[in-house]
Amino acid sequence: MKLEMEMICPNCGRSIEEIKSDKRLGCAFCYTVFSDYIEKMLKMSQGTFVHIGMAPKKSEKKERLKNAYFKAKKALKSAIKEEDYEKAHQISEDIKLIEEQLSAEG
């Protein structure tokens, strides 16, 4: 746990303690540096690392597509790891369809 306390973003200089206290990242690079902490906090607060908060009505479909995309990417990694290549192929086809729908949504 002590190692976590000493984490600092090399780009902006924000520490993990600063981020814990005010719940704000200092720069885009912080997402990479503190990814484990961010994922842990999102899972604790929302039950998942995918954003489930409020969204404008017109973007609901896009958010559903994004969630489906991330779930499919995770399933693809799992299928490849399990060496189930037929399943991986089907999932990659699903991902292509989702990507097409996302690009149509703008």
Q: Taking the domains of the chain in order of start, what are their residue ranges?
A: 2-46, 57-105
pLDDT tens sequence for the chain (106 residues): 444 457 888 889 998 888 888 888 888 888 888 888 888 887 777 766 565 566 566 677 888 888 899 999 999 999 999 999 999 999 999 999 999 988 887 6
Please state, in angstroms and as integers, the Cα–Cα distance from residue 50 to each residue in 23, 38, 69, 73, 104, following that order: 17, 11, 11, 13, 22
Supply the pTM of this predicted model. Answer: 0.47
CA separation for the pair 28, 50 (Å, rounded): 17
The residue to which tokens 């981020």 are assigned: 19
